[in-house]
Amino acid sequence: MTEHVEVPGDAFTAAPLQAGITYFRANSTAADASATGPNSVAAAPRAVADSQGALALGLDAHAAAPDTIALGYGASASSSGTVAIGASARAVGGNSLAFGYRAESIDFGGVAAGARSVAHGRESVALGAAAVASAEGSVALGSQSRAEADYVVSLGDAALQRAIVHVAPGARSASSTEVVTGSQLHATRVQVAALSADADAVKAAAASAAYFQVGSEAANASSGATMVSMGPAARAAAGADIAVGAGAVASASHNALALGPGALAAAYYTVAVGARAQAGLTAGVALGLSAQAGTTRTVALGAHTLVRSARSVALGESSTADHADAVSAGSAQRQRIVTSARAGVISATSTEAVTGAQLHAINQQLQSLAGTLAQRVDTLRGSLAASRQRREALFRRLVALEAAR
């Protein structure tokens, strides 16, 4: 038997005794294919293409939405733009792809490739037999891999891990997101081991150092994360305080420094350096044995110096400053000479200190002026004496003339 199938513009002749087109055969008693959508194609028993531009190829294949492809026994493409290729493959989410036996792409933009692979999350990718990508943007690579958190890449599951090989070395920087290799990590580990060995060597050297030893059983009195204390019973209270020395105390709550046995920095920004040095109020500075900066913004510099008034400075051993905004270089019992001073400006508004040389020059000028004045006074006295003599002579002459009359 010979059949002709009419095709616009051409004709094909079937082989003798077989119905159909040459090289194309169909053998089934099942219901016919159905292509009801505009420009759709359905080929195979019970294949259905019932939407615009749909293509269904294979027994029970179903292309159910515009521009879909279902290829294979029982393949199903049910949302616009989906492709399902493989027996029982399902592409459900819009623009999703499913390739392989029972592969399933459930949400929008998903890709499932491999027998029984499942791309369940939105825009997820499952690549490999039984691979599952169940979270948004996740990627499962390899047979039985599972990606269960958003935007992760999984190469296995809890029971199966895979190594990544032949990877190019990644960039190492604070902002790098590139994968590094085992050789890079090995190099880092070698460096860490070298640093650890150096640290051990330093520790051993410190333990045997002739001039650095720690010998105390007293407890560390500080426990905060931002302060520093070193020495038996040294205590730094808080806020970046530093106390160094036996019994040193930095008891402010912000940036106090006590350095020396028994030193005390008791207020904001205070500095006490020296055995038993004390800085008691804000921004006070005490430097020296038992130096005391007792008020705000004062400086006590030298052993046993004492400042009692605000913003004053005591300079030198046992000096006392007990007037506000003053600088003292001694005390009532001990005065000091200030030497090597620069000559100060001499004017009606000057506040600069003048030197002995400047005062000596002024004294010299005064002495010269006094000598000149003395000479002028002597000259004036001589002139006055001569004038008196002339006046007396004139008087005598007048008397004589009067008598002659």
Phi-psi region of 318 (alpha: psi -120 to 50; beta: other; left: phi over 0): left
What are the tens digits of pLDDT across the range 198-213? 888 877 776 665 554 5
What are the chain's domains?
228-328 (2.150.10.10)
Greater model confidence, 387 or 56: 56
- The CA distance from 170 to 206, in Å, is 39
If one counts every other C-beta atom within 10 angstroms of the C-beta of residue 122, the result is 17
H or E stretch including 390? helix 356-404
**Which residue has 């009359």 as its token pair?**
405
Distances in Å between the alpha carbon of 289 and those of 74, 229, 281, 306? 97, 20, 18, 11
Check: CB of residue 246 under 8 Å from CB of residue 231: yes
High-pLDDT (> 70) share of the chain, %: 89
Q: What is the pLDDT of residues 145-157, one digit of tens each?
A: 999 999 999 999 9
**Cα–Cα dist 306/292, whole Å:** 5
Tokens 């169940």 correspond to what residue?
Answer: 134
- When pLDDT is averaged across residues 160-165 and rounded to a whole number, the result is 87
User: 62: which strand partners?
Assistant: 48, 76
pLDDT band (50, 70, 90) for residue 2? very low
Residue 75 to residue 90: CA distance in whole angstroms: 6
Q: Kindly report the pTM of this predicted structure.
A: 0.50
Q: What is the mean pLDDT of residues 240-248?
A: 89
Give the model confidence (pLDDT) of 254-285 as tens digits: 788 999 999 999 888 899 999 999 998 988 99
